[in-house]
Amino acid sequence: MYVFSPFLPFPPSPLLLSPLLPPSPLLLSPLLLSPLSSPLLPSPPLPLSSLPPLQMVLLARCEGHCSHTSRSDPLISFSSVLKQPFKSTCFCCKPHTSKLKAVRLRCAGGSRITATYRYILACNCEECS
C-alpha cells in the first residue's frame, strides 16, 4: 500500500509538486478549476480581462504498473454454444482508500456552489472489473 501526506501548501506550485511525488503507483495531479465554471448555473463566456484568477485544487490519481501477470485462459463448454470462450484475469492500479472533500466555487453572478470529489489516499493493485 502506498500512502502520502496530503498536507501541501495551497495552492501548490508545480516546482513543489515534483520532488514530493511518492513512488509508483501513486501520482499527484494538480487540476485547475475556474471559479466561473458551474454545471448548475450556465452563463455566457466573459472576456478574459474580467475573469477572476484560477483556483488550484490538488487532486490525486492512481497510476503505475502492477507486477501481476494478466492472462486469458480458454474455457471448455459441454454444449454447442460457448458464450464466453475465455476467462481473462488482469490487475490494475486502483484507489484503495480515499476521503470525501469539498471545494467552494464562486460563480459569475457572485453566488457560490460546493463541488465534492474523492481524494485518493492510497492505491493498490487489484483485479480489474
Q: pTM of the prediction? A: 0.48
| Domain residue extents for the chain | 22-35+54-75+83-129
Calpha distance 118→129 (Å, rounded): 20
**pLDDT at res. 99:** 93
Q: Give the helix/strand (H/E) hosting 10.
A: none
What whole-number distance in Å separates Cα of residue 50 and Cα of residue 34? 13
- Is residue 75 pLDDT above 60, yes or no? yes
Instruction: Tell me what pLDDT residue 7 has.
Output: 38
Residue among 55, 5, 63, 4 at smallest CA distance from 30 = 55
CATH number of 22-35+54-75+83-129: 2.10.90.10
Closest by Cα among 116, 124, 117, 59 to 95? 124
pLDDT tens string 93-109? 889 899 999 988 888 78
Q: Among 111, 126, 102, 97, which residue's Cα sits nearest to residue 3? A: 97
Q: What is the mean pLDDT of residues 7-16?
A: 35
What whole-number percentage of the chain has pLDDT above 90?
6
Read off the pLDDT of each residue in 21-36 and give the average, rounded to a whole number: 34
